[in-house]
Amino acid sequence: MDIFEKVVAKMGPLGQYYEHGHGYYFFPKLSGDISNRMIYQGKERLIWSLNNYLGLANHPEVRKADAEAAAKFGLAYQMGARMMSGQTDYHEQFEKEIAEFMGKEAAYLLNFGYQGMVSVIQSMVDRKDVIVYDSEAHACILDGMQLHFGKRFVYPHNNMESLEKQLQRATKITNETGGGIMVITEGVYGMAGDLGKLTDIVELKKKYPFRLLVDDAHGFGTMGKTGQGTGEHLGVQDEIDIYFGTFAKAFAGIGGFVASKKEVIKFLMYNLRSQVFAKSLPVAMTIGALKRLEILRTEPQHKEKLWTIVHALQNGLKEQGFNIGNTESPVTPVYFEGGVGEATQITYDLRENYNIFCSIVIYPVVPKGVLMLRIIPTAVHTLEDVDYTIKAFAEVKQKLNAGKYSDGIIKSMMV
């Protein structure tokens, strides 16, 4: 079959719904200031779908730093990859400050988080090495492993007994190849909100020779006393060999960083293909990241407000009998039973009749027959927002149980 014919015929598990939902369920357009309320299709909605955990997107000092840096340098400066012509004092300053904040020897600034994680995996292992990873690893981890020519073993999500068995298999192989073992997990799992079992994984280091890589995209800035992340929260920060954080969540920006020992960061600087062969993070965004880091260090009230909202929301949902799974982070999933038809009708009802905008997750992200409304609380939400949302969800749950969404029809909102 011709490649173009193939992609037209097989749009994929989500693309198959293009005719029903492009522009409404998929690729919706929000406008207005990034906050708890924004404009969607001409109406103000209560928004629970933005990765703006600490509310920094419209923090006045952040906006000022972003604007002044953009006015001074533009968004083009500097032109080139770090290795060739894209190195600046600002990049080095951020790396020094983030390494100190994270309690690591050194750090390296990344132009994009997703590509950065792909490249970290690709560069750190070769065909002699073995990767052992959690079954619910993020897409960037899975894509990074596609570039690995050696063995890789998966263990069921947070199943430590299986992890140990995979480590035993990996150790036998590396004893023959002379390679090493890399265990990859997440700090906070971004869909379900539960935590990687970092304490148990670290304990296995006493028995097996492996290095631990943690993708803490949702944990950086939100977890731990200072916002260092899930390692700090669980008291094992020093045992994380390679720590990855992104600016796309708590920092409300673009880019990311990797932190580790000096010799490891030196190696990554010269071997990360996503950085060696791509333009570095623009100076304006680097200066913006410095301001965000300063605020994370000096204004703990934003994280405190976030967790006030998180606790109110999650406790309120549980008191009303909702299933929110095993979340231990701000990520708040709400599980229902149903199919794609129910998912579209619930989404439509929430948006049009309750003016609530939140993401709904369907198969293949969750098992068939399961629907998940994924709520992202932020420091700019209010307790009134929480109360209103819980009441709305209670009414939606009653309608779902009464069969009012169960006609099986996918509500078409093609615009």
Q: Three-state SS across the chain?
A: CCHHHHHHHCCHHHHCCHHHHECCCECCCEECCCCCEEEECCEEEEECCCCCCCCHHHCHHHHHHHHHHHHHHCCCCCCCCCCCCCCCHHHHHHHHHHHHHHCCCEEEEECCHHHHHHHHHHHHCCCCCEEEEECCCCHHHHHHHHCCCCEEEEECCCCHHHHHHHHHHHHHHHHHHCCCEEEEEECECCCCCCECCHHHHHHHHHCCCEEEEEECCCCCCCCCCCCCCHHHHHCCHHHCCEEEEECCCCCCCCCEEEEECHHHHHHHHHHCHHHHCCCCCCHHHHHHHHHHHHHHHHCCHHHHHHHHHHHHHHHHHHHCCCECCCCCCCCEEEEEECCHHHHHHHHHHHHHHCCEECEEECCCCCCCCEEEEEECCCCCCCHHHHHHHHHHHHHHHHHHHCCCCCCCCCCCCCC
Q: Minimal CA–CA distance to 392: which of 360, 348, 359, 353?
A: 353
Residue 356 has what pLDDT? 98
> Quick one: what percent of the chain has pLDDT higher than 70?
98
For 110-135, the pLDDT digits (tens) are 999 999 999 999 999 999 999 999 99
- Is 363 exposed, middle or buried (CB count within 10 Å of its CB: 0-12, 13-18, 19+)? middle
pLDDT, mean of residues 210-219: 98
- pTM tops 0.75, yes or no: yes
pLDDT band at 415 (very low <50, low <70, confident <90, very high): very low
Residue from 246, 250, 243, 196 nearest 222 by CA: 250
pLDDT digits (tens, 9 = 90+) for 253-303: 999 999 999 999 999 999 999 999 999 999 999 999 999 999 999 999 999
pLDDT band at 102 (very low <50, low <70, confident <90, very high): very high
Q: Identify the pLDDT of residue 340.
A: 83
Q: pLDDT at residue 364 above 90?
A: no
Query: So what's the pLDDT on residue 78?
Result: 86
User: Is the pLDDT confidence value at 409 over 70?
Assistant: no
Checking if the pLDDT of 412 tops 70, the result is: no
CA distance 304 to 291: 19
Q: Quote the pLDDT of residue 20.
A: 79
Mean pLDDT of 88-102: 97
Average pLDDT, stretch 4-14?
Answer: 88
Residue 359: CB atoms within 10 Å = 15
pLDDT of residue 414: 46
Mean pLDDT for 158-174 is 98
What is the pLDDT averaged over residues 237-247? Answer: 97
32-66 residue pLDDT tens = 999 999 999 999 999 999 999 999 999 999 999 99
pLDDT at 410: 59
Chain Cα centroid distance, residue 370: 21
The overall average pLDDT reported for the chain is: 94
Q: Would you state the pLDDT for residue 407?
A: 64
